[in-house]
Amino acid sequence: MQQPAAYGFVGAGAITAAIVEGLNADVAGPPAIYLSPRGRSVGRELASRFPNVHVCDSNQNVLSNATSIVLAVRPRVSRAVVEKLSFRPEHVLISAMAGVRLERLQDWAAPAGHVVRVIPLPQAARGQSLTVMYPDNAVARELFARVGGILVPSDESTLEAFSAVTATFAAHLDYLTTIASWLADHGVDSGAATAYTTHIFGQLGQSLLQRTDSLAALTDDHMTPGGINQQLMTELRRDGVPDMVRRALDRILARLRGEPA
Ligand SMILES: NC(=O)c1ccc[n+]([C@@H]2O[C@H](COP(=O)([O-])OP(=O)(O)OC[C@H]3O[C@@H](n4cnc5c(N)ncnc54)[C@H](OP(=O)(O)O)[C@@H]3O)[C@@H](O)[C@H]2O)c1
């Protein structure tokens, strides 16, 4: 298949900035990139750093310059944005938006030839996004392979379950914040408490990335029977923390699928 000459992005915010950064990292011949005009500071900053990045004067001009179009606006404005655009059959619309179903996107973007949903991660900036994609599409695959790996679930409903899991980042970081602030409450300078907490969990993250075994086995590796890790885990389980996480994920999934909570 011939490589697409250019990528367009409608919505130039945080996730677009991460993908564009990744597309430009260590690539001898990065693709031409066309950005929509809104989100002026992000677009201007990217265009000033990378000669292959251009800010268009309208969303429609992004579609005039590229046939592979990443849609990265907030879901609430998605319909208004997409319906204003004139797509052609050669366009591939790659939606990064959470909770907007393929059927609706296909309807709004007709007669675009292909519509794909993706869940890029901010780590795209470092070429480390494991991007979930459905359905599989060669153009989207080529784009996201440049900024990490690709995972294709069996159906759209499963993609939404992956999407729900990406809602856990802030809560996870908040859990680490609780640990660091508890340490500071016990007499440790707050900078040192943060540094220590980020160090130990950064190292734990490395263990996760290098794991060869199940998560349950890794958990066992990090505790001694009767020891303090086992005690804390058992207390949190007894207090219902895992069940609360499952129920909160169920509510996120219902929201993403447009179901009543
Ligand atoms: N951030 C992530 O890590 C991440 C990961 C996966 C998926 N996503 C999805 O990606 C989408 C964007 O997320 P984000 O975090 O990048 O949001 P963001 O930083 O708020 O960026 C959204 C951008 O859309 C622009 N915009 C608003 N109305 C527009 C219009 N009519 N035409 C063109 N652009 C318009 C905004 O411009 P102004 O600043 O001028 O309003 C802003 O630059 C969301 O649907 C989200 O679910 C995000």
- Distance, CA of 237 to CA of 26 (rounded, Å): 45
CB of residue 37 inside a 6 A radius of ligand 1: no
Q: Residue 229's pLDDT is what?
A: 97
- Residue-range domain boundaries for the chain: 6-152, 167-256
Question: How is residue 147 written in tokens?
Answer: 């900024």
Q: Residue 1's pLDDT is what?
A: 47
Query: Which among 9, 38, 41, 83 is the best mutation to test ligand 1's pocket, defined by most ligand atoms within 8 Å of the CB?
Result: 38
CB of residue 109 inside a 6 A radius of ligand 1: no
From the CA of 81, give the closest atom in ligand 1: 31
CA 139–ligand 1 middle distance (angstroms): 22
CB 261 within 8 A of CB 251: yes
Query: Which among 74, 101, 133, 255 is the best mutation to test ligand 1's pocket, defined by most ligand atoms within 8 Å of the CB?
Result: 74
CATH topology of domain 6-152: Rossmann fold (3.40.50)
pTM summary value? 0.93
Q: Residue 26's pLDDT is what?
A: 66
CA 12–ligand 1 middle distance (angstroms): 6
For atom 41 of ligand 1, which residue has the closest CA?
39
Q: Residue 64's pLDDT is what?
A: 97
- Which CATH number does the domain 167-256 belong to among 1.10.10.10, 2.40.50.100, 3.20.20.70, 1.10.3730.10? 1.10.3730.10
CA 249–ligand 1 middle distance (angstroms): 23
**Alpha carbon distances (Å) from 140 to 96, 108, 151, 233:** 11, 19, 12, 41
- Distance, CA of 198 to CA of 220 (rounded, Å): 22
For atom 11 of ligand 1, which residue has the closest CA?
72
For atom 37 of ligand 1, which residue has the closest CA?
39
Per-residue pLDDT of the chain (261 residues; tens, 9 = 90+): 455 479 999 999 999 999 999 999 866 778 999 999 987 789 999 999 999 999 999 999 999 999 999 999 999 999 999 999 999 999 999 999 999 999 999 999 999 999 999 999 999 999 999 999 999 999 999 999 999 999 999 999 999 999 999 999 999 999 999 999 999 999 999 999 999 999 999 999 998 999 889 999 999 999 999 999 999 999 999 999 999 999 999 999 999 998 876
CB of residue 15 inside a 6 A radius of ligand 1: yes
CB of residue 120 inside a 6 A radius of ligand 1: yes
